[in-house]
Amino acid sequence: MESEHHGSITVLRIGHRPFRDKRITTHVSLVARAFGADRIVIDEKDELLEENINNVVSRFGGDFKINSGVNWKKYFRDFNGIRLNLSMYGINVDDKIEEIREKTKNRDMIVLVGAEKVPIDAYLIADYNIAIANQPHSEVSALAIFLDRYFNGKELHKNFNGKLNIVPMEHGKMVKYIPDEKEALQILYDNNASDRIIRHVKKVYELAMAISGYTNADRRLVAAGSLLHDIGRTKTNGIDHAVVGAQILRDKNIDDRIINIVEHHTGAGITAAEAKNLGIPEKDYIPETIEEKIVAQADNLVVGDRIISLDRVIQNYHEKGLYEAAERIKMLNDELSKICGRDIDEIARDVDNAEKQ
Ligand SMILES: C[S@@+](CC[C@H](N)C(=O)[O-])C[C@H]1O[C@@H](n2cnc3c(N)ncnc32)[C@H](O)[C@@H]1O
């Protein structure tokens, strides 16, 4: 958990025996990740363990690293930073934690935890031998309590920004997720989306991704949002298709940020007053986040599976007497062009030309 106040934190797990300790070293690794360390280094090579932890990281987020098969003594001795050995024989954590926090403001820290027996070298190399109560318990609890004391409990609120996000609930379980491209398309197929819808959303996706390349938008949200923006059209082609689409995705526990992209994608958004007149639930459907704006505008510039110019979009709206909506699209275009440092219309033309070549 690198921040302005701390260097990185490495957990060094020694004495790992791949056949016996798989479960407990997995737990040490998960505790390290969940409670704010940046990486774990393990003495014995264990590819399966690495794979399991990398799998958790790819689903639940963050950039925690795992590396096994290192010469622990050399690693510990040569570590450029503050070296800790967690041991029941050490000094009580409460007597040293402030000093350790102070010393690691601008320096990295390594925290060694053992298995059955820890060689004396670990105690001698360490700058601090720290006890979490002078009673025997476990590397899992010792590491968890140490990190919690070190971060003053703030690590419990760390945002991992994962593909899977647990929604805290008093009862029951809920995980919301961000589908990748393949999963988003599968959701469309599962809802019997027509070829026409698929071709359209793929083109909107292409353009939206190109635009997002000029911004700091979350590309995972733009990808899923653009591919799923018209899922409501599998049920209705009415103005309510965005609302219907959002509900389909809500029922599938898709991440709220994607649901908002879908619900706010019509034109440059619909105001609550307009929504009332249109007979859809009375609330604002104006795109707010950068990801919502990108998908809405990419969709405006794609008719069927063809990219059209902004002038053409405006003309189409004027022909239908939708002057206010046309003005909003133009404003959205200007706003996005400013963010991108390049005209959206031009980016669209590039995508179109690349396709034709
Ligand atoms: C099962 S213990 C092994 C203890 C063993 N008697 C030794 O130190 O050689 C495994 C690890 O748990 C951690 N641990 C257990 N009790 C602890 C305590 N009271 N304080 C800090 N760490 C502890 C230490 O990191 C230790 O290396």
Q: Which residue has the CA at smallest separation from atom 3 of ligand 1?
A: 116
Per residue in 153-189, pLDDT (tens digit) is 999 999 998 999 998 999 999 999 999 999 999 999 9
Name the CA dihedral angle for 247, 323, 345, 214, rounded to a multiple of 10 degrees. -50
**How many structural domains are present in the chain?**
2
Q: Are residues 18 and 151 in the same domain?
A: yes
- The pairing of strands 302-303 and 82-92 is unpaired
The arithmetic mean of pLDDT across residues 99-109, rounded, is 96
Residue 165 lies in a domain: no
Q: Select from 95, 112, 118 the residue to mutate for testing ligand 1; criterion: most ligand atoms less than 8 Å from CB.
A: 118
Domain that holds residue 278: 181-355
Per residue in 328-343, pLDDT (tens digit) is 999 999 999 999 999 9
Per residue in 256-267, pLDDT (tens digit) is 999 999 999 997
Q: Indicate which atom in ligand 1 lies nearest the CA of residue 118.
A: 9
Domain CATH number, residue 345 = 1.10.3210
Q: Give the count of beta carbons closer than 10 Å to the beta carbon of residue 250.
A: 14
Q: Which of 127, 160, 193 is the last residue of a domain?
A: 160
Q: Is the pLDDT of residue 141 over 60?
A: yes
| C-beta of 15 in contact with ligand 1 (< 6 A) | no
Residue 329 lies in a domain: yes
Q: Are residues 100 and 218 in the same domain?
A: no
- CA dihedral sign of residues 134, 140, 146, 149: negative
**Is the pTM of the predicted complex or chain greater than 0.95?**
no
At 2, the pLDDT band (50, 70, 90 cuts) reads: very low
What is the DSSP code (8-state) at residue 3? B
Q: Is the pLDDT of residue 4 over 60?
A: no
What's the token pair of residue 72?
């622990």
Give residues with Cβ within 8 angstroms of 10, minimum separation 6. Answer: 37, 38, 39, 40, 41, 79, 108, 109, 110, 111
Residue 175 lies in a domain: no
Per residue in 27-74, pLDDT (tens digit) is 999 999 999 999 999 999 999 999 999 999 999 999 999 999 999 999
Reference 99, options 152, 150, 23; nearest CA is 150
Annotated binding-site residue? 171: no
